[in-house]
Amino acid sequence: MIQRMSLPFLLLVACDGGGTKDTDTGGGGEAARTFDYFVFTNEVYTGDSTCIGSDMGTVDPAKQVSVTFNGEVHDFQTENEVSEATVQFWLADDISGAADAEHTADADGKFSTTVPTCTPIAYGTFTPPEWEETVDTYEVHQVYGYVETGSIDGEWVNSVSQSTSKIIPSVIGIEWDNTTGIIAGTAFDCTETEIGNAQIFIHDGNGTPPATGEIFFFDDNNLPTSHDKLTATNPENGLWVAVNVPVGTWQVEMWGWSGTEHVLLGSTVLNILSGSVNISNIYTGHDDGIAYPDSCLMGAM
Amino acid sequence: MLGALWLALSAASAHADAPDNWKFSLDGYYRVRGHAFWDLYEGQADAGTYMTHRVRLQPQLNFEDRAKFFMQVDALDGAVFGDNMSQASTALFAGSPSETGIDGVEGDVISVPRAWMEFKVPVGLFRVGRQSSQWGMGLLANNGDGFDDSFGENKFGSTYDRIIFATRPITVATTVANMVNPATKVRDIPLITAFGVDRLVEDPLIQYYGYTCDSGETDDDARCAAGDDHSYTSDRDPQYRPDTWWVDTQDDVYEMVYVLIYRGEDLKFGKSLVGDLTAGVYIVNRVQAETDSDVVILDAYVKEEIANTYFEAEVLTIQGGTRAITLASGNAEDPLGKEAAIWGYVLRGGYQDQRWSLLMEHGYASGDETPTDENFTGRPLHPDHNVGLLFYEEIMSRITAETWGDGAKGLWSNGGVYNSRYIFPNVRFRPLPNWELSGAWMMAWPDKPDGARILCAEGDEVECPVYSATSDYLAWEADFAIKHRWADHVNVTVEGGYAHVTDRIPLKNNGLQYETDENGATYGNYFTLQTRVAYEF
């Protein structure tokens, strides 16, 4: 199952007010980068969080089989096919090592490989740097549901164009240091519906945030807010983006305000590589960013 | 345009004496320009050099000064020296150069960017066709003709499909009065008015919707039919245009042009002072029905040359509403609604005589710290208003292109003065006929840092997520030029520039070389040497 962010046209950006991280007018001054810097909302989160702490189901080993994957590489924004892109798969869901499989898409962006179902894996899409066409795009913790036919057909893998990677920071109003990475994702509740009013906190696993990296949310038009009208939280769309996240492994957490306290809704772990865009969703009730489709769970038909 | 109209109208009284025949004349030039840059681009170890061509032919057919036909033919425009498309299988044996531009794209060998006619009627002059447009100092409308800048080169040029009528209302009135009563000798006043209309677009290939539809999700917008899938706008393929594509008037973009200009020559000021005075206003109302665009451009210009003093100024503003700009506003009910409030100006003045020009120039182009809100306040000055050789022309041009990317080319500066104010004192010395030496210094400060193209520093009047810059100013630059005219027709120029760019500009991540000081601030020092050899017809 792949949950895809839906970004209409990234140039079409709107700003709908809301709180700001720094309410000083006239600029200047940077707040200490602590938990409170990232999580401060008093807007109660929307969505179902009843699954937190509950049994999320057990994966049925019988559903973990290898299937043919007839995929297509598409541009994340325009949804056009990306010709002759290189696609790599890491079947252990760890992009730090060598890929387990590598394929080159044809002129229509199509390729075939073999993937395990009901098993978290990672993929990356690339084009030669001299083409100046795309940036290295990764999507980890992908789980493809069990299929009886033995093949998954027409599934898309994402590629982010250089144009898109530039224009998101550009409309936000921040310089992207391309020795760092960008993370973009959606926050989901227990029913895998977009969750509203969540905030994102990134840390090293011990509560220490990275030295750089700013979180931005998307407004009601599903578009990133600009820097001088930062929304404190994502609205109903669940969309967020982190720019300038340093290279390394980071815990990415989704927090919400219950009305009395901030509660951890879900989290994921990401390995950020230099100059990369990482598409990653966070699911309520999961601490690893991995959400198994129902077809993978014990008792599923 | 208006300068030419003026000349044409000035000649109105002479046409009766013109011979009853055709005259052909040819203006234009062939130009070679060489560029060398040091330490500018990432990965550049040695001086990067390239040379380009341009042939510009501007023939004119003139019938008794009453009816004229003009044309501009460009050839090899911007073509880089050499075979850059590997037409020869072995580069070392290349013999036939290609027409590749500096952007790496093969250009047209010949193009005809302009063709228009001009004819006089008893009370004025019409100009009809695809024509150049020039107003004042060229901050808004700049024809890009000739070699009119102290430094740099014209690369663009304003061209419009236009029908315009110009007249001298007071001349007409005084002529009538003097005809009725020859003894009155009513004095003429050199005042020109003009009224025109430009058709900018007949049918845009960007289809405007003003709302989004998504076929893949439940869409509760009643305007969306089943299967509709588009953003606020979407691209169309011209091959799928219906035969009647020109019928729809809602998507037409046109503008009405109104001009009023006074141009007094050899005017007497007091007992002994004689000089010229020009002042006028250029008003444009640009509209597009389907995007509710109704934008007014107001551009005022004044120039005086009295005795050895010189002063010239142009101030422009663009005001009005539109839904045509795909940078949506902050209004959830009207995300495309934008209110333009753009300002720009240049003031230039000083002393000049036959040997010396001592001038101070100050200019401004308003910026937009939030390009994605409901206020559209940033627009660079025309890129053919050249200020120096490096900072605006190369570095800001590169930064805006890199940060906006190909998806927003309309927001690139292309070398124009961008989101800043500058001072540009310059000196020109003409020691001998046909020789001119120039020196200039430029310093620029930010207007509204947007955090992506101009980085924020503490104390800025804008709110930014990161205040990474420390400098108050953007850059300074020193330029020099030596110009010589040889054999009346050959224009030879050597120009050089050195620029220091501060940490206000994101050099590091946009393909430009940079250094880091002891405090971690990035900066860049760049040098260029450029030459031009042109044969002017």
How many Å apart are CA B328 and CA A248, to the nearest integer?
35
Distance from the Cα of B339 to chain A's closest Cα (Å) equals 14
Mark yes or no for CB contact B372/A17 under 8 Å. Answer: no
The structure tokens listed for B310 are: 């010189």
The residue length of chain B stands at: 537
Measuring CA to CA, which residue among A239, A268, A260 is closest to residue A120?
A268
pLDDT at B218: 59
- Tens-binned pLDDT, residue by residue, of chain B (537 aa): 555 555 455 544 444 444 568 899 999 999 999 999 999 998 888 889 999 999 999 999 999 999 999 999 999 999 999 999 888 888 888 888 999 998 889 988 899 999 999 999 999 999 999 999 999 999 999 999 999 888 999 999 999 999 999 999 888 888 877 777 777 666 778 899 999 999 999 999 888 888 888 776 656 678 888 788 888 888 888 888 888 989 999 999 999 999 999 999 988 888 888 999 999 999 999 999 999 999 999 999 999 999 999 999 999 999 999 988 877 766 777 888 899 999 999 999 999 999 999 999 999 999 998 887 888 999 999 999 999 999 999 999 999 999 988 878 889 999 999 999 999 999 999 999 899 999 999 999 999 999 999 999 999 988 887 888 999 999 999 999 999 999 999 999 999 999 999 999 999 889 899 999 998 899 999 999 999 999 999
A9 burial via Cβ count (<10 Å: 0-12, 13-18, 19+) = buried
How many C-beta neighbours within 10 Å does residue A289 have? 22
The CATH classification number of A62-163 equals 2.60.40.2190
How many C-beta neighbours within 10 Å does residue B77 have? 21
Q: What is the pTM of this model?
A: 0.85
Measuring CA to CA, which residue among B9, B41, B28, B17 is closest to residue B526?
B41
Mark yes or no for CB contact B461/A26 under 8 Å. Answer: yes
pLDDT at B396: 97
Mark yes or no for CB contact A163/B405 under 8 Å. Answer: yes
pLDDT at B474: 98
* Helix H or strand E encompassing B403: helix B397-404
Closest-CA residue in chain B for A275? B509
Mark yes or no for CB contact A175/B452 under 8 Å. Answer: yes
Mark yes or no for CB contact A173/B369 under 8 Å. Answer: yes
The more confident residue out of B326 and A2 is B326
Distance from the Cα of B523 to chain A's closest Cα (Å) equals 15
Mutate: best of A23, A75, A166, A193, partner B, most B CBs <10 A = A166
Angstrom distances, CA of residue B16 to CA of B13, B122, B186: 7, 12, 22
The answer to whether B103 faces chain A, any CB pair under 8 Å, is no
**What residues contact residue B105 under an 8 Å CB cut-off, 6+ apart?**
none
How many Å apart are CA A141 and CA A154, to the nearest integer?
19
B-chain residues near A226 (CB < 8 A): 370-373
Mark yes or no for CB contact A27/B458 under 8 Å. Answer: yes
Mark yes or no for CB contact A226/B402 under 8 Å. Answer: no
In degrees and rounded to multiples of 5, residue B13 shows phi and psi of -75, -15
Closest-CA residue in chain A for B337? A14
A-chain residues near B335 (CB < 8 A): 12, 14, 221
Distance from the Cα of A158 to chain B's closest Cα (Å) equals 17
B-chain residues near A221 (CB < 8 A): 328, 332, 335
Domain residue ranges in chain A = 62-163
- When CB atoms are compared, the residue of A13, A28, A162 closest to B405 is A162
How many Å apart are CA B315 and CA A158, to the nearest integer?
48
**Residues paired with residue A49 on neighbouring β-strands, in sequence order:** none
Mutate: best of A175, A221, A244, A245, partner B, most B CBs <10 A = A175
pLDDT at A2: 36
Angstrom distances, CA of residue A23 to CA of A207, A228, B194: 25, 10, 51
The answer to whether A154 faces chain B, any CB pair under 8 Å, is no
- When CB atoms are compared, the residue of A9, A26, A214 closest to B466 is A214
Query: Which three-class secondary structure state does DSSP give residue B292?
Result: coil
pLDDT at A19: 28
- When CB atoms are compared, the residue of B329, B369, B405 closest to A166 is B405
Mutate: best of A5, A10, A15, A212, partner B, most B CBs <10 A = A15
Measuring CA to CA, which residue among B327, B305, B312, B478 is closest to residue B391?
B478
Report, as an integer, the average pLDDT of A216-221. 72
Closest-CA residue in chain B for A29? B458
- DSSP letters for B190-251: -EEEEEEEEEEESS-SEEE-SS-B-TTS----TTPPTT--B-SEEE--GGG--TTTTT--TT
pLDDT tens string B38-65: 999 988 888 899 999 999 999 999 999 9
- Residues 208-227 on A with a CB inside 8 Å of B are 214, 216, 219-221, 223, 225-227
- Report residue A234's pLDDT band, with 50, 70 and 90 as the boundaries: low
How many Å apart are CA B279 and CA B433, to the nearest integer?
31
- DSSP letters for A163-184: HHHHHHHHHHT----TTSEEEE
The answer to whether B470 faces chain A, any CB pair under 8 Å, is no
Closest-CA residue in chain A for B405? A163
Distance from the Cα of A283 to chain B's closest Cα (Å) equals 21
Measuring CA to CA, which residue among B390, B326, B475 is closest to residue B40?
B390
- Residues 505-524 on B with a CB inside 8 Å of A are 506, 508-509
Three-class DSSP labels, A189-235: CCCCCECCCCEEEEECCCCCCCCCCEEEEECCCCCECCHHHCCCCCC
pLDDT at A220: 62
Distance from the Cα of A19 to chain B's closest Cα (Å) equals 13
Mutate: best of B372, B470, B509, partner A, most A CBs <10 A = B372
Distance from the Cα of A24 to chain B's closest Cα (Å) equals 8
B-chain residues near A170 (CB < 8 A): 403-405, 408, 452-453
B-chain residues near A24 (CB < 8 A): 463
Closest-CA residue in chain B for A26? B461
The structure tokens listed for A189 are: 């509740």
- Residues 359-418 on B with a CB inside 8 Å of A are 369-373, 402-408
B-chain residues near A26 (CB < 8 A): 459-461, 463
- When CB atoms are compared, the residue of A16, A162, A172 closest to B330 is A16
N-terminal to C-terminal alpha carbon distance within chain B: 20
- Residues 11-50 on A with a CB inside 8 Å of B are 11-17, 20-22, 24-30
**What residues contact residue A117 under an 8 Å CB cut-off, 6+ apart?**
A63, A64, A65, A66, A67, A144, A145, A146, A147, A152, A296
Mark yes or no for CB contact B330/A14 under 8 Å. Answer: yes
A-chain residues near B408 (CB < 8 A): 11, 167, 170
B-chain residues near A163 (CB < 8 A): 405-407
How many Å apart are CA B298 and CA B417, to the nearest integer?
19
N-terminal to C-terminal alpha carbon distance within chain A: 17
Mark yes or no for CB contact B330/A17 under 8 Å. Answer: yes
